Structure 1
Amino acid sequence: MENQTLISLVAPADGQLLTLDKVSDPVFSQGLMGQGLAIEPTSGEIVAPVDGTVTLVSETKHAFGIKTKDGADILVHLGIDTVELEGKPFKVNIKQGDIVNAGEAVVSMDLAAIKAAGKETTVILAITNSNDILQNLMVTGSEQVVEAGDTVAVAAIKTAEKVALKPPRTGGKYDQLATNIIENVGGVENINSLIHCITRLRFYLKDSSKVNDKIIENMDGVISVAKAGGQYQVVIGQAVVDVYDAVIAQIGPQFSNDDATAEAVDQTANKVHGFWPNVKRGASNFIGVLTASMIPIIGILAGSGILKGILAALTGFKVLSTTSGTYVILNAVGDATFYFLPVVLGFTAAKKLGSDPIVLAIVGGILIYPQIITLAGKASTASTNFLGIPTTLISYTSSVFPIIVAAWLGKYVEKFLKKVIPTYVKSVFVPILEALVLSLVVIIGVGPIITVLSKGLSNGLVSIYNFSPTLSGLVLGGVYQTMVIFGLHWGLIPIVINDIATNGHSYINSILSITMVAQGGAVLAVFLKTKDKKLKEMSLAAAVSAFCGVTEPALYGVNLKYKRVFVVASIASALGGALTGFLRVDNYALSGALIGFPAFITPGVGIGSNFYGYLISHYGTLLIAVVLVYFFGFTDKMLAKKADPMNINNVSLA
């Protein structure tokens, strides 16, 4: 039986007890700061959750740390993004070095002032050295109302004897990596001290010229290296605490600095300040949710896209009829993932954002309910009302943005409903009311907005084409895939369908086809350049899918994830679109990309100038996209930025 010590954690505030995964800050909800719990406070009086010594009081007063006699490092974080309030809502009664007892009042926070500033008041408790000393954390029932000082959790801590029994070099998972890092930073004799933040080892070295950058950067387990603030930083990612412990075990505890480490962790968790940095972070978070929600289904999306491309080619060459049973069944297999995308995304996005996955999957089902899709498909029935509120129905099949909005709102709607609905009927009424509210928000709010914006954009783009096909290709080629992300492309689809139905061709669809090739070319460049095996596999499948006319795997699996790839791909797409417009390439069927080449053969004429224009524009775009992204859009160092979520390169700690 393992040796362990049990320590009790008391509630740091009055309020509702929550599990960490319910916290809206991903740094805590994803466990990057360690295991713990949270309180949605009803009072601003904060007490110490454990007996121990105060090791940290943040300059902005929004966080403090306590170390117990058993070695547990407890971080209490007051509110979310409250570092930006510069300490104004807080009154602190403790300082570093003070001895405190569990239940002792230590901080007062002004809940009203925090809410007035647009911040959340959630009080978060995390055991920051969980990976090192925590064997188990048992939290009492979540969502119950507790009072400050109530025991809410028991932590099983490894005893000092147990930790000491682990020798530094016994073939542990990170021991060899630690040894290699130590040797290549110049050995123990070149190290002054070592701390870490959320994702990086931060060495203070005597002579940085003794470091072997290339060797360290290419080690398995190391993402990249950086030099900043007098530190040599080795980016590890989520395993940073384990690697840090392995290094300290080998060089000795005299090289560690717990206080500086706690401050580094706190600063990296709250680095973003100011309006534009927050806008940038918000956009980054949105893209992060999009890509994270898509990742579980990227494989089947890519496979479905390839199958749809093969079917398009077979029907284009008249090998298969669209009315045959073979085609219908194969098309169902290829198309189902896209048709039911809101259902699948409702589930995956809810898990990412902390909403109820089942409820959000139902919301996705409501959005693509057959009768709604049928009504939305006819101009005469698309305009309707709900309890007298006018709205315009649109088709949400294959859509992404609306269900992401619903998943984001779901957590707040659910929290509100649970507060106002009696406990004994919550299980029945909360899910259905949440589904109702979220569906109405999308159908009555998001849908009409998307309709107005997409129609306006579509009309504007058609006007530009009538004025100058080259300029139209440049603009439409550059913005179309961005329109796809936000669901604004639906206004163009009826125009393309109408053109082909009434005129037998569509110049606009030729430009849309180019955007697929550009995204595929971009992800092909990533495949050619990256050394990461998983990224290579995903990139190749996504490229083939895009060349078959389905860009979702490329967009959400790679290009948006590494934002510069998407930007450079859009530039290539704009150039390819301009070339397509200049050559006046025409499209004769609702198909495109590289697999859809039969749609560019002029009926009754055969292969001629239009088809040659297709070859020049499409394969020219492919070449442009591959070259631009290969040389300017992607490097494996971007993998480090994704795995290092705070991306802090300039933190200076005394």
Structure 2
Amino acid sequence: MAQTSQLLAPANGTVIALAKTSDPIFAQGTMGQGFGLTPTDSQVVAPVSGKVSMVADSKHAIGIVTNDGLEVLIHMGVDTVGLAGKPFQLNVVPEQEVRAGDAIATMDLEQIQASGLDTTIMVLITNSAQVLSGLDLTEGAVHSAAPVATAFLKSQEEAHDSSKKLSHAELAKFIVKNVGGKANVNNVIHCITRLRFYLKDEGKANDEILKNQRGILDVMHASGQYQVVIGNEVVPVFEEVVKELGDLGDAPAQPQTDDGKNPVSKAFGNLIGFITGSMSPVVGVIAAAGILKGLLALLTLPQLGALLDVKSTAYITLSAIGDSAFFFLPILVGFSAAKRLNSDPIIAAVIGGVLAYPQLIEWGKAFKTMFEVGGFKFQFLNYSYSIFPMILAAWLAKKCEDWLKKVLPSYLHMIFIPLITVLVVSVITLVITGPVIQGIANGVAVLINWLVSVSGWAGGLIIGGFYQLLVIFGLHWGVVPLVAQQIAGTGQSALNAIICSTMISQGAAVLAVALKSKKEDTKELGFAAAISAFCGVTEPAIYGVNLRYRKVFVSGLIGSAAGGFITGLFHGTMFGFTGGLIGFSSFFNPQHPTDLSSFYTFLLASAVSIIVSFIITWVWGYNDQMTMGKKVAKKQRPGSTK
């Protein structure tokens, strides 16, 4: 049953609903819920018990805070502040404790009426939005101190002030509590902007409470995860969430309950979630490596005086630093994937080291034959820069470890589980799964690059126009390994060049909002989100502003379609991973530094994306009279019964 609090009549007279009072500010509920009373005598009593929090200098108003947290204002007369306190005598002072029914003031009704003013006493709960779920009122003639209203208080969760800026630690506690508590969390990871929870029961999470809290841009159900979109401060919040959760023990990374989803849909969601969890911790270093490689290509340009010689010690050293993240990618992905599976990350890293071993790489480049069966040759392949073979290898290692723990005596675990797992999984990967997956992945990467190159403007227009829709559902992370595989296999990615324009377009759209708006909070959020989008992270722009003013998001999509059209028309491509304006260096070809065609395409596509998105948003997409919509509603996964 909801907790309630009684409000008494502040004087003898007639109680009327707030909407019937003469002052429009009070009548519209701007100052909070409450009621009015037309007094018939001068004595005013406290409608509630509590501490006097405020006494107006003009004596016409008194504030009382109750033990229930109600902030009650007793406002005597309408527009009586101009009477400078002459009609009023007060019996209380700030910080004084009063009981309901205690005499707190007298008011000279005749003097107020002689001034042509309304004598109605307003009783208002000024923090109604935070503490009240409703107010029942009985109108009509009453005696002083008689009960006239019942205030229904919100629960602790409902009463939470969602507009308050919380510290990282406070926000982490709030999030953990509202995803169902520690007991409901199997695991948690993060990407560039989101906390990605694996929950036992997503139905226990409080979507609306979370998405309306300041500091949280949105929540969604996607890829087998419960995603809480934080924005640029996701890392410190994640660290505090981990502290709050403590040791999760051997809890599985994936939900194990039967949630009634379609098996195919559930399997696909878990697959995407596993790939996401494996790749998201690696993305930052890949992006950094791509920027470094692009800058090195820039410094070797003859047009700039060839500031660095490709044969110099400095260039070779810096190039090695930039290449290392890609060269040893199987080790990084293996370690990360094992962490997601709660298996031994060192074993997975060692298997990744096998794939990246220099001698095996040399044999892979030469397609050296391992052995031959019935005329069919099993060959070594080059697995440096590869992703998908290692992801499957980490999963196989997990299965192998679990089986060995069951069949081997505990005293053999330390030595023989790593020995057997590394040996068996490495051989299976080198002989069977690696060649198959690598062949498929390289084929898909080449096919997409070919389609974009052949279709040109059409492919750019379609991909550019719709890519950011994947971001809304968190499915864009499924594209990340594909782009990385393209760059690894062919040294470039036409797909990533188009994606780059979509980031810039959403940034330009939110920048237009920031410049056009006269609302300080909108300007602050808009500028921050624009910088983030231009640096390749669009979630703060999309969830903070663009989707909440739907026309702004659409304006960004139109601009990105235009940018993608230009990129496809001129066959632009990227040689690195980083997108947005900050990714300009990734458009320099490291193999042919004098070839600037993709860089010029990037400049033109970026200019078109910015101009189109900015102008459409300014003219059509936004004005300050628009009402900001609610944060994006919860998304349903295919086959979901929720």
Q: TM-score range by the shorter chain?
A: 0.3 to 0.5
| Structure of larger gyration radius | 2
- TM-score of the pair, normalised by structure 1: 0.45
- TM-score of the pair, normalised by structure 2: 0.46
